[in-house]
Structure 1
Amino acid sequence: MAESGAGPHEGRHELRPVSKHRSNVVFAILAAVLLGVLGIAIATQVRSTVAGDSLDSARPADLLVVLDNLNRREAALRQEVSDLEDSLATLQRSGSTVAALAEAQARLMALSIQVGTAPAIGPGVTMTLTDPAGGVGSEVMLDLIQELRAAGAEAIQIAGSTGEPIRIGVNSWVTGRGGALELDSVKISAPYTVSAIGDPPTLAAALNIPGGVFDNVSRNGGSFSLEQSQQVTISALRQLNPRQYAQPGN
């Protein structure tokens, strides 16, 4: 089941992709600085070579001063190049970390929608089931949920005539006779409103197959209506129970 998630509003939750443009600009600037520093070093060496003739007549003490200055300048340039290379490597590692974090957040969002802890919005179907004769029992509702899941529904919620909608999760269950259904320990009564996010034509076709869910509803004295839409909102949330036995594996 797919959901929109982390910090949901009853609308679309989108993770903004990591800005590669910004990282590329930073890398380009650092590369340009590195080239500039190396250029300065080369130019300094060239100027020193060209000026060599004029130094032939200089005193030994003056030559020692010039040599010392050149050595200091060379050491400073090497250190600057080293520092810039370290900064570039850090930024590159940071870029990989940001990408990994974005991927992890996207995966968390998908899993949150699947287990029902985040709201979702997207194309899907909304249907209403009536049960005036009290013949639509838990087996029909269970078939409805299973058919939607098999048809690729990524998020489902069911509401009775009163009360809040109930989000269907991996451990949802339904019991009771027609007119007295209980869904995840909550009693619900007809008419039932079922919303599901997925490919609308596929979901509708799955429920309308001969001998399928809607045929069972009709045979048990109920009726149904179904609407396909490009925007179905699933707002109900589930609470995660702390795990009791399972532990992460290697």
Structure 2
Amino acid sequence: MSSDEHTETGTGWPQPAGPGRPSGPAGEPDPRPDSPDPDELSPLAPERSVPPAEPVVQEPDDGATVDLSRAAGETSAASASVRGDEASARSTSVRGGGARWRRLSSAGVMIAVLLALLGFTLVVQFKSTSTDPTVGATRQEDLVRILYDLNSREVRLRQDIATLEESQRQLRSGQQGRQAALEEATRRADELGILAGTLPATGPGLSVRFEAGEKPISASRVLDAVQELRGAGAEAMQISGGDRATVRIIASTFFLDGENGSLVVDGRRLTGPFTITVIGDPATMRTALNIPGGVVASVTGDGGKLIVEDREAAEVSALHAPIKLEHARPVS
């Protein structure tokens, strides 16, 4: 074997010479299209990055094929289910928190509205009390008199309560029950007769005289006086005109303005001046008429006069005709 056909390997054994790389003219690359790059064959060429190989799916032993797309779909469905559960939990939490917030905000709104109404009521009451001209203009003596009258009325009411309780005790007793019941019925009939105007009455009281000035005495002024007297404890009243016509004043009495300064009381015409005779506590009724802004001040402001005189024995003699009942019958 000749040296031209073998190449020394350094071990003493000959090595067949590999096929030589054909080359073109000096300095020119190999013209063959499938020829390797000379840089790749060079031991000094830098290493190039090799893309990773695609994973190889091994077929199972039983010959069944693995559907990668179905496995990926199941994985995606599981992930979507987990995300859906988390989103549902967050939505439920948000809705629960929103409901609690709405409940708390509704309660807060209601409390704020109630507090606002309470504050508004207190402010209005304070203003009405502090700006009341009647109370502010009342003298200290008048306030003391009003307080005294209220205390006196309370004492009278307590006495009435005690009297009624005593009457109840007597009515429930065995021997005196019948006689006590008869006396009580008589007393109540007299009181109701006086209130209804069917019985005359006498007792301490006042005489209130209206004298017109530039303006005639109106029915509203007379009605105000009657209301003030009733509020002060008047028990019986009558009104007389300049022609000495007299009308008993009861709960159903009405007052109207007539012609030429006259009054129409319960359908009867009265001419001025007008005089109201009233039975009750004189001091209490006088104080009620003289309250600042009351009846005396109103009549005086119209240019008239209101003359109030005490009577030790005022007499109310005018009677009111009882109403004839058409349908009602007393029950025994």
Whether the TM-score (by the shorter chain) exceeds 0.5 is: yes
Which of 114, 118, 127 is residue 199 of structure 2 equivalent to? 118
Question: Which residues in structure 2 correspond to 1:178-189 (within 5 Å)?
Answer: 179-189=261-271
1:169 counterpart = 2:250: yes
AA aligned opposite 1:158: I
- The aligned runs of 1:4-153 (5 Å cut-off) are 95-153=176-234
Contact persistence 1:136–1:221 (CA under 8 A) = no
Aligned letter for 2:276?
A: V
Q: Distance in 2 between matches of 1:245 and 1:217?
A: 43
Contact persistence 2:213–2:302 (CA under 8 A): no
C-alpha root-mean-square deviation of aligned residues, in Å? 2.1
- Three-state SS of the structure 2 residue aligned to 1:166 is strand
Retained in 1: the 8 A contact 2:238–2:249? yes
For the Cα contact (< 8 Å) 2:245–2:270, is it kept in 1? no
Task: State the distance in 2 between where 1:180 and 1:107 align.
Answer: 37
- Provide the secondary structure at the position in 1 that maps to 2:191: helix
Find the partner of 2:295 among 213, 228, 241. Answer: 213
Residue ranges of structure 1 left out of the alignment (5+ in a row): 1-91
Instruction: For residue 163 of structure 1, report the CA deviation from its aligned partner.
Output: 3.1
Give the AA of the match of 1:210: P
3-state SS in 2 of match to 1:124 = strand
Q: Secondary structure at the residue paired with 1:218?
A: helix
Cα distance in 2 for partners of 1:124, 1:244 equals 37
Report % sequence identity: 37
Secondary structure in structure 2 of the residue aligned to 1:105? helix
Q: Is the 8 A contact 1:130 1:191 kept in 2?
A: yes
Tell whether 2:312 aligns with 1:230: yes
Q: Displacement of 1:249 after TM fit?
A: 8.6
Tell me, in whole angstroms, the C-alpha distance in 2 between the residues paired with 1:147 and 1:202: 10
Larger Rg: 2
- TM-score of the two chains, using structure 2 as the length reference: 0.45
Task: Give, in whole Å, the separation in 1 of the partners of 2:224 and 2:208.
Answer: 15
* AA of the residue aligned to 1:182: V
Cα offset, 1:247, TM superposition:
6.2
Q: Is the 8 A contact 2:238 2:277 kept in 1?
A: yes
Unaligned runs of 5+ in 2: 1-173
Distance change (3 Å), C-alpha of 1:166 and 1:97:
same
Output one character per residue of 1:198-228: Cα deviation in whole Å (capped at 9) or x when no partner.
Answer: 1100000111111111111111221121112
Of residues 148, 151, 158 in structure 1, which corresponds to 2:239?
158
Distance 1:187 1:223 in 2: 21
Q: TM-score, normalised by structure 1?
A: 0.59
Change (3 A) 1:189 1:132: farther
Q: Is the 8 A contact 1:129 1:223 kept in 2?
A: yes
1:5 is matched with which residue? none
Conserved 8 A contact 2:194-2:201: yes
